[in-house]
Amino acid sequence: MAPRRKDKLNRVRPGPCAAAWASAASIALYSLSSAADEPRKVTEPFVLAEPAEITQVVDAFDGDDQFDLHLSLGYQHTWKRAQIRRESSIVQPGLSFGGYTEDTLQIASYQETTSRLNTRAEIGLFRDVALIVRVPIILANDRKLEGASGSESQQSTRLVGLPGEQLFRLPFTSPTRSGVEYLAVGADVAIMNQFRDSTKPSWVVGLEGRFSVSEPMHACNKKPSALNVVSEQIECAEPSDINRNGVSGEFQDAEGNDLEGSFSGGRSAGVSRGTTALELHTYLSKRIKYVEPYAGFRALFEFQNGSSDYGSTDFEGSIVNHPPLQGTLLVGTNIIPWEVRDSHQRIAIDVRASGTYVSEGRDYSELFDALGSSDAPSLRTPLYAEYQANPDPEPNVPSVVKTSSERVYFTGLTDVQQHGVYNFSTSFTWQAGRYVKFNVGGAYTLVQGHLISFDQPCNADFDDDVGKSGPCREQSSPGEFEATGIPNPNYRAVINAPGRRFKVDDAHLFDVWLNATVMF
C-alpha cells in the first residue's frame, strides 16, 4: 500500500468554498494515484504489485517472500485455413498470357486443426530471476486437402508431374498426430522493475532452449487411394521405399523392382519438428494509472537434428538446409479496469499486435504429407549427391553423375520462401486472489502468401570445378565450359521449376485458449 502523503498545506487561510474544493481535489487525486508511484517500504505489508503478464517474473528471497512457484495448465485450440495454388503455363484467361507464368491456378483448400495442452512451471531463483519449464503437448493435429474451384475434377492436369504421372490425389488426409511437441527450458531476468523503482519501467530479458524429445514428423498418407498404381501401400513409408510397400533400401530400380531391398514396415507419423531451437526475447512495460503499454522483440533460431528428415537433405550442393529463422516485433497495452491490491484481486485486459519475419528455410509446409508420401516416380526416384569429371573424351559433356555417391531421397521437406506473419490478440485475466488466476483469450493470424517449393537447381557457391558442375555450366567457347555452380540434389523440377511451383495464399489462423495458474 502506498504510504500516506505528507504535503504541506498553504499557510494562507482559505475561504470555506475554496477549502471544500481543495479537499475534494485532494481526495480525487489520491484515489487515482497508482501504487507504482512510490516504492514499497520494508515495513509495509506485501500487496499486489506485479506488472503486466508479459513482464512479470517470479522471484525468491524478496523480503519475507522467500520462494515463488507458479504452475500453469492451459488448453489451446487452433484452426488454420489456406488456399494452395500453383504456377501454371496453361493457356486460359487469368492463368497465363504473353509468355508469363501466373501463380493463380487453384489446387486445393487446406485445413488444419490443433488441440494443445500447455503446461508451464515458473520457479523463482532469486530476486527478479526465474527458471521456466514448458511442455506443450499436442492432443490432436489433423490436416487435410480438399478440392477448390473444380480442381478435384481436373487433378490430372493441375497436379501433373512428369507426363503420365500425378503428384498426389484429392481429397488428401494426413494421419492424426499427437505427443509432446518439445521440452522448453529457459530463464527470465527483470533488469528493471517499476514496482521497486517507480522512475524506471519494467524490463525483462530472457532466453529459452527447445528440445525435440519425441519422434520427428514423417510424411504420411492416412488413407491410400484405391486409384494408386501400386496396391497395398503403407501409410508412412521410408523415403527410400520407392513403392511405398514396406521394402526399402539403396537397391531398387526406377521401375520399383526390388534388387536387394530390406523390409522396413514403415514408420510413425511423428509430432515434433526434429530441431533444437533457441529463443531470445526482451520486453519493456510502464504502468501509467490504469494502463500499462508495452513493446518487445523475440527471435527464434532453429537447428536441424541429424536424426530427423533434415539429415536426409544435408549435402554439399544444398542451398538451404536449415529451418527458417524468425524475428518478431510486438506492441500492446494491458488495461486494468479494476483491482483491489490488499486482497490481491485484479482484472486485466491485454490487447496485442505483432509482426514476424520468417526467413527462407527448409520446412514442413502445407504439402509436406501430400508430396512426401507421393507415389510419383519423379519424386520417389533418388538422385545422386555428386557429379564427377567425364572419364570418356566427350567435349560437350564435361561432367557426369558419380554413381558411387550417396543417393538422395525426397522426404517432403521443401524450401519455403521468406514471408511475413501478422498476429492480433486479446486476452482477459482475472486474478481471483493471492494464489490463483485465470486467463482466457483469442487471436487472429494472417500469413503472407509465399512459395512452398522454392528450391534452386544450382548452388553457385561452388563454381570452381567444371568437372563437378553437371548441368550447372555455360559454354564459353566451342568445347570449353565454365561452371556456374554444382547441382542441388534436393531440387525436383516437377515442383521447383518456375511454372511448376506451389504457393500458399490466403492463409489465416484462429486461436482460442484458457489457462489456470496457481501461485505459491
Summarize pLDDT for 36-46 with one digit per residue, the tens.
444 545 444 44
Average pLDDT over residues 230-235: 71
Domain that residue 431 falls in: 16-220+269-519
Q: Which of 2-11, 22-31, 205-214, 341-350 has the lowest mean pLDDT?
A: 2-11
CATH number at residue 52: 2.40.160.40
Average pLDDT over residues 75-97: 79
Reported as half-sphere exposure (CB side, CA atoms, 13 A), residue 509 has a value of 19
pLDDT at 258 over 90: no
Q: What is the dihedral of CA 53, 59, 63, 64, to 10 degrees?
A: 90
In the structure, what pLDDT confidence band is assigned to residue 249 with cuts at 50, 70 and 90? low
Amino acid at 513: W
- Determine the pLDDT at residue 71: 97
Reported as half-sphere exposure (CB side, CA atoms, 13 A), residue 429 has a value of 19
Q: What are phi and psi of 169, to 5 degrees?
A: -125, 145
User: Is 376 among the domain residues?
Assistant: yes
pLDDT, tens only, 11-26: 334 454 444 444 444 4
- Determine the pLDDT at residue 77: 98
Buried b (16+ CB within 10 A) or exposed e, 339-371: beeeebbbebebebebebbbebbbbbbbbbbbb
Average pLDDT over residues 398-411: 93
- Determine the pLDDT at residue 513: 98
User: Is 215 among the domain residues?
Assistant: yes
In the structure, what pLDDT confidence band is assigned to residue 49 with cuts at 50, 70 and 90? low
* Nearest one of 140, 160, 158 to 149, comparing CA atoms: 158
C-alpha–C-alpha distance, residues 122 and 124, integer Å: 7
Q: Who has greater pLDDT, 31 or 193?
A: 193
Average pLDDT over residues 206-216: 97
Q: Who has greater pLDDT, 102 or 252?
A: 102
- Determine the pLDDT at residue 67: 82
Beta strands in 40-176 (DSSP E): 69-88, 96-97, 100-126, 129-146, 172-173
For the chain, the average pLDDT equals 85
Dig out the grid coordinates for 436 from the structure: 490463483
User: Is 443 among the domain residues?
Assistant: yes
Q: Which of 1-5, 87-91, 131-135, 486-490 has the lowest mean pLDDT?
A: 1-5
In the structure, what pLDDT confidence band is assigned to residue 99 with cuts at 50, 70 and 90? low
Percent of all residues in the chain with a pLDDT value above 70, rounded to a whole number: 82
In the structure, what pLDDT confidence band is assigned to residue 93 with cuts at 50, 70 and 90? low
Q: Which of 141-155, 271-285, 289-303, 415-429 has the lowest mean pLDDT?
A: 141-155
pLDDT at 255 over 60: no
User: Is 345 among the domain residues?
Assistant: yes
Average pLDDT over residues 200-216: 96
User: Is 251 among the domain residues?
Assistant: no
Q: Is the backbone of residue 190 left (phi > 0), alpha (psi -120 to 50) or beta?
A: beta
Q: Who has greater pLDDT, 101 or 443?
A: 443
pLDDT at 361 over 70: yes
User: Is 228 among the domain residues?
Assistant: no
Q: How many domains does the chain divide into?
A: 1
- Determine the pLDDT at residue 195: 86
Transcribe 240-252 into DSSP letters. Answer: T-TTSSSEESS-B
Q: Which of 50-54, 422-426, 482-486 has the lowest mean pLDDT?
A: 50-54
User: Is 3 among the domain residues?
Assistant: no
Cα→Cα distances 448→420, 445, 503, 513, Å: 5, 10, 11, 24
C-alpha–C-alpha distance, residues 154 and 158, integer Å: 6
* Nearest one of 57, 52, 86 to 69, comparing CA atoms: 57
Average pLDDT over residues 334-344: 90
Average pLDDT over residues 261-270: 76
User: Is 114 among the domain residues?
Assistant: yes
Q: Which of 24-33, 118-127, 216-225, 389-398 has the lowest mean pLDDT?
A: 24-33
Average pLDDT over residues 401-417: 94
Percent of all residues in the chain with a pLDDT value above 90, rounded to a whole number: 64
pLDDT at 5 over 60: no
